[in-house]
Amino acid sequence: MNRLLKSCLVAATLALSNVSAHAGKDGGTLSFLVQPEPPTLASYVSTSGPIGLVMPKVYEGLFDYDNDGKMIPILAESYEMSADGKTVTFNLRKGVKWHDGKPFTSADVQFTVMDVLKKVHPRGPNSFREVSAIETPDAHTAIFKLNKPAPYMMRSFSAYESPMVPKHLLEGQDVKSAPLANNPVGTGPFKFVEWKKGQYIRLDKNEDYWLEGLPHLDRIVGRFIPDASTRTAAMENGEVLYAAYNAIPNIDAVRLKDRDDIDVTTDGYSMINPMALIEFNTKEGPFVDPAVRRAISTAIDRRFMIDTIFFGYGKPATSALSSNFKATNLHATMPNYPERGDVAKANAMLDAAGFKKNSDGVRLNGVLDIIPYGEDWRRAGEYLKQVMGDIGINLELRYEDVPTWLKRVYHRYDFQMNVNYFYQLPDPVLGVHRHYGTDQIRKGTHFVNSSRYSNPTLDALLDSGAGEPDAAKRTAAYNEIQQILANDMPVVNLFELEFLVVYNNKLKGAYDSAMGAYGSFREAYLDD
Amino acid sequence: MTQSTKIIRYVSRRVFQGVPIIIAIIVINFFLLNLAEGDAVDVLAGEAGSATPEYMAQLRAKFGLDQPLPVQLLVYLKNVLALDLGYSFRHDMPVSDLIFDRFFATGLLMTCTILLAVGFGVLLGLLAAMQLNTWKDAVITVFALITYATPLFWVGLMMIVVFSLKLGWLPTSGMENVAAFYEGWDRAKDIAVHLILPTITLSLFYLALYTRMMRASMLEQYGQDYVVTARAKGLTERRITFVHVLRNALLPVVTMAGVQVGALIGGSVIVESVFAWPGLGMLAFESLFARDLNLLLGIFMLSSILVIVVNLIVDIIYCFLDPRIEVS
């Protein structure tokens, strides 16, 4: 009975949020900025940002998510979850065709999840780790069998996170080197036409799209412009209409938003959840004592960093988890995370922990590595050097190129303190666990537990948080996790980054998906 | 031996000499590039977010990056001798396709720039030398100094601000209008319009160089004995300048132009970046940060070949400009 009731409820909510084709004008070309040029178009192998800007227009996921986090049915019309959470049945949409005319069926779903995402996708092995098998009783039903309940899995069905790919073009080949990579064939509203290296990627309207009346646009062109000032000029000139993930730097965005034809929004990043942070080496070097890390977190003026360096875009971090997890009741505000820094208190904390200042006022010497992703981070490093100086920690800054930096931090662990940012993604299991779990100390793997923090109590809590189907118990587990992390601080979160979308307001209908720029743009249209 | 057989023998000997130079360039570049920390797999995996060490090891094996360096070098050299420039793992395309794709854009920008810079440089230098110490000379000299001293990226951005944003005459960037996708003649016209700003920006710098060089070279020639002789013979100043002095004064300018063709491939990175021009310079720049060594080596090889060929052409032009110089 319980199971039946639950299934009905799920089906009902999905029906309510069912797609209603947006009214909009047909025709026109949308040029938007893709920065930098993607390395390949294989979104099922790489989650690299620029690939995410392009490919969700071509490949679709089973679901999309709206700005309130509600699931929007795309290739799946609905799903039912069993009471024990270990069987999830997806009812797939009928009449959907790949761009080459072949029908989309449950076999494609089975192949995509079991043979592609679980094997070669960077995050797929994590998102679908509990999936042991997928049964396909008919062409339009896919039944996921799970070892343990995996509530987070339901947050990772977007076209960006888990694109559905055609089995008939990948089967029997090496998935990573198959020609599909740069000749993508999807089910999405736009078809891939050509990729002129160094210039643009062109997508044309899919005339046979399964939802009558969509998409509105005839064509989408993603342009690559290496120079930031030129990108801004192209936006001002109306040559490009949409720029996300800070393709237009904040310093220009605050100027452009005063124009009548250009608007700026921070929407469209809630499923990405970027968090600026400092990783510490907890095994060797000057920051092995948690007391030092707590003092550092206390001294940092997060509000100042946001207002001065990031032009007011950002929210001070209040815990190991982003405040966007309030929606699922997982976030709790923690101590040692002041919005405005308290240098006097931090000094007192260090005095109490026995770190004495020498005659030059220095307690500790250290090196701060800075993520090589642009000027803003360099300025953040300069601020940190200054404020750390105020509490007697003398920092030297180090700024290297991407491969050198990755090697240093994630291969050789040859760092002490590293400014970085992580995507926390739509669920802590997907984006946060990789930072703290003992099983996530994986030498040579990027963006995992580089601080080599290991705490069996925390590991047990992370496990129970991942598999707990009961919402209240899950909240309790994460509350405890955040308390432990606010005390030990292997990682000090700085602030929740707010990336910007800068857009020409004659482009409409592109802002409804929580995926933002990683969305399909099927309802986007030009209004002049 | 006639002049033409002499030239043919000379060219074939120079081409033959070029081969070991190119191989040496490849070997040196190969080791130099491998000194950099990290490889293409690190960058790919870093961009992709999390990737397992097993996956990265698989990729390395696939790319041949798990082999010892000397083996990698030998494999590469063997492929090059078979005219195979290898595969760019980052772009998932053969290197030769990638380079060929971009070479058109680079060639176009380079040719237009050299023609504009040398043409106007020679003209302005000539004018300045003929009107020595007049206001015209002063204006040209000051103009040359200013353009030479101004950073390229700034000139480019100011061009965009003035001609694209304020006047709205020209597009800001790119090589084609991507909203329109013209065909045939419309496309050629579209590309020409996009070419104007980058060409002017890039040639301004070189223009200044050639102007100053041409002026100095002309002045030097004016002081030579043969000019005194010509004057004594009663030749007009016009004839002395255009028939005698100009030809001799061109020699250093031609030499300089030959050297700079090679540099232009890489030296246009800034202009390519500011105007989003899809040329080889930007490709080389990006491949360096992506540790795409096959692609980089390919580009380096191409530019070294280009330098050798252009220098050969320059040497042959010498013979025509100054019959006293002979190939041997």
Contact at 8 Å (CB) between B52 and A442?
Answer: yes
Which residues of B are less than 8 Å from A237 in CB distance?
A: 164-165, 168, 171-172
pTM above 0.90, yes or no: no
Report the DSSP pairing between strands A63-65 and A71-73.
Answer: antiparallel
**Secondary structure string (H, E, C) spanning A480-510:** HHHHHHHHHCCEEEEEEECCCEEEECCEECC
The pLDDT score that the predictor gives to residue A77 is: 94
Q: For B209-257, how does the pLDDT look when each residue is reduced to its tens digit (9 = 90+)?
A: 899 889 899 888 888 888 888 888 888 888 888 888 888 888 888 888 8
Q: Which residue has the tokens 């570049």?
A: B29
Average pLDDT of span A168-196: 90
The pLDDT score that the predictor gives to residue A347 is: 95
Sheet holding A501-504, edge to edge: A190-196, A200-205, A219-223, A29-33, A242-243, A501-504, A262-265
Distance from C-alpha of A214 to C-alpha of A16, rounded to nearest angstrom: 20
Nearest CB to B50 within list A49, A120, A123: A123
CA quadruple A449, A450, A451, A452: dihedral positive or negative?
Answer: positive
pLDDT band at residue A59 using 50, 70 and 90 as cut-offs: very high
The pLDDT score that the predictor gives to residue A119 is: 83
Please tell me which of A170-174, A365-369, B5-9 the model is most confident about, judged by mean pLDDT: A365-369
The pLDDT score that the predictor gives to residue A353 is: 93
User: Could you tell me if residue B31 is inside a domain?
Assistant: no
Distance from C-alpha of B17 to C-alpha of A45, rounded to nearest angstrom: 46
Q: For A330-340, how does the pLDDT look when each residue is reduced to its tens digit (9 = 90+)?
A: 999 999 999 99
Put simply, whether B272 touches A (Cβ < 8 Å) is yes
Average pLDDT of span B82-100: 81
Residue B78 burial class via C-beta count within 10 angstroms: exposed 0-12, middle 13-18, buried 19 and up: exposed
Q: Which two tokens stand for residue A30?
A: 């949308």
pLDDT band at residue B310 using 50, 70 and 90 as cut-offs: confident
User: Could you tell me if residue B25 is inside a domain?
Assistant: no
Nearest CB to B48 within list A36, A48, A411: A48
Which residues of A are less than 8 Å from B280 in CB distance?
A: none
Residue A476 burial class via C-beta count within 10 angstroms: exposed 0-12, middle 13-18, buried 19 and up: middle
Q: For A240-275, how does the pLDDT look when each residue is reduced to its tens digit (9 = 90+)?
A: 999 998 889 888 898 998 999 999 998 888 888 899
Q: For A296-307, how does the pLDDT look when each residue is reduced to its tens digit (9 = 90+)?
A: 999 999 999 999
Which residues of B are less than 8 Å from A401 in CB distance?
A: 289
The distance of B90 to chain A (nearest Cα, Å) reads: 6
Distance from C-alpha of A40 to C-alpha of B90, rounded to nearest angstrom: 7
User: Could you tell me if residue B224 is inside a domain?
Assistant: yes
Position with higher pLDDT, B320 vs A82: A82
The pLDDT score that the predictor gives to residue B47 is: 66
Q: For A367-379, how does the pLDDT look when each residue is reduced to its tens digit (9 = 90+)?
A: 999 998 878 899 9
Please give the torsion angle defined by the CA atoms of residues A366, A372, A376 and A381, in that order, rounded to the nearest 10 degrees: 0
The distance of A340 to chain B (nearest Cα, Å) reads: 31
The distance of A1 to chain B (nearest Cα, Å) reads: 42
Put simply, whether B195 touches A (Cβ < 8 Å) is no
Put simply, whether B276 touches A (Cβ < 8 Å) is yes
Kindly report each contact of residues B67-74 with a partner whose C-beta sits within 8 Å and lies 24 or more positions away, as own/partner.
Answer: B69/B31, B69/B34, B72/B30, B73/B27, B73/B30, B73/B31
**Secondary structure string (H, E, C) spanning B53-91:** HHHHHHHHHHHCCCCCHHHHHHHHHHHHHCCCCCEECCC
User: Could you tell me if residue B312 is inside a domain?
Assistant: no
CB atoms within 10 A of CB A37: 22
Verify whether the Cβ–Cβ distance B173 to A125 is below 8 Å. no
Q: How many CA atoms lie within 13 A of A169 on its CB side?
A: 22
Position with higher pLDDT, B7 vs B201: B201
Q: Is residue A24 pLDDT above 60, yes or no?
A: yes
Q: Is residue A418 pLDDT above 90, yes or no?
A: yes
- Mean pLDDT of the residues in chain B: 83
Residues 6+ apart with CB under 8 A from A293: A280, A287, A488, A489, A490, A492
The full length of chain B comes to: 328
The pLDDT score that the predictor gives to residue A20 is: 46
Which residues of B are less than 8 Å from A444 in CB distance?
A: 53, 56
Verify whether the Cβ–Cβ distance A29 to B50 is below 8 Å. no
pLDDT band at residue B206 using 50, 70 and 90 as cut-offs: confident
Residues 6+ apart with CB under 8 A from A405: A369, A371, A372
Verify whether the Cβ–Cβ distance A230 to B172 is below 8 Å. yes
Q: Cα angle at A214 between A17 and A241, to 5 degrees? A: 100
Verify whether the Cβ–Cβ distance A442 to B52 is below 8 Å. yes
Verify whether the Cβ–Cβ distance A447 to B49 is below 8 Å. yes
The pLDDT score that the predictor gives to residue A388 is: 96
Average pLDDT of span A148-165: 91
* pLDDT-above-70 percentage for chain B: 95
Q: Which two tokens stand for residue B217?
A: 């070279």
User: Could you tell me if residue B52 is inside a domain?
Assistant: no
Q: Which residue has the tokens 């002129």?
A: A196
User: Could you tell me if residue B66 is inside a domain?
Assistant: no
Range of the domain at B282: 104-293
Put simply, whether B51 touches A (Cβ < 8 Å) is yes
Task: Tell me if residue B244 falls in helix, strand or coil.
Answer: helix
Rg for chain A, CA atoms, rounded: 24
The pLDDT score that the predictor gives to residue A19 is: 46
Please tell me which of A388-402, B28-42, B243-257 the model is most confident about, judged by mean pLDDT: A388-402
Which residues of B are less than 8 Å from A448 in CB distance?
A: 50
CA nearest B90 in A: which residue?
Answer: A39
The pLDDT score that the predictor gives to residue B185 is: 84
The pLDDT score that the predictor gives to residue B96 is: 85
Which residues of B are less than 8 Å from A123 in CB distance?
A: 49-50
The pLDDT score that the predictor gives to residue B45 is: 72
The pLDDT score that the predictor gives to residue A11 is: 45
Residue A153 has phi, psi (to 5 degrees) of -60, -30
Put simply, whether B56 touches A (Cβ < 8 Å) is yes
What CATH number does the domain containing B141 carry?
1.10.3720.10
- Mean pLDDT of the residues in chain A: 89
Verify whether the Cβ–Cβ distance B42 to A46 is below 8 Å. no
Q: For A498-523, how does the pLDDT look when each residue is reduced to its tens digit (9 = 90+)?
A: 999 999 999 988 877 888 899 999 99
Per the structure, the count of domains in chain B is 1
Position with higher pLDDT, A316 vs A18: A316
Contact at 8 Å (CB) between A498 and A276?
Answer: no
Distance from C-alpha of B41 to C-alpha of B55, rounded to nearest angstrom: 10
Contact at 8 Å (CB) between B78 and B232?
Answer: no
Q: Which two tokens stand for residue A285?
A: 């070097």
Q: For B133-148, how does the pLDDT look when each residue is reduced to its tens digit (9 = 90+)?
A: 888 888 888 988 888 8
Position with higher pLDDT, A38 vs A290: A290
Q: For A428-476, how does the pLDDT look when each residue is reduced to its tens digit (9 = 90+)?
A: 998 899 899 998 888 877 788 999 999 999 999 999 988 888 889 999 9
User: Could you tell me if residue B59 is inside a domain?
Assistant: no
User: Could you tell me if residue B151 is inside a domain?
Assistant: yes
CA nearest A447 in B: which residue?
Answer: B50
Characterise A334 by phi-psi region: left (phi > 0), alpha (psi -120 to 50), beta (else). Answer: beta
The distance of B94 to chain A (nearest Cα, Å) reads: 13
Put simply, whether B101 touches A (Cβ < 8 Å) is yes
Task: Tell me if residue A76 falls in helix, strand or coil.
Answer: strand
* pLDDT-above-70 percentage for chain A: 96
Q: Is residue A205 pLDDT above 90, yes or no?
A: yes
Contact at 8 Å (CB) between A493 and A477?
Answer: no
Q: Is residue B261 pLDDT above 80, yes or no?
A: no
pLDDT band at residue A3 using 50, 70 and 90 as cut-offs: very low
Q: Is residue A2 pLDDT above 70, yes or no?
A: no
Nearest CB to A402 within list B62, B157, B289: B289
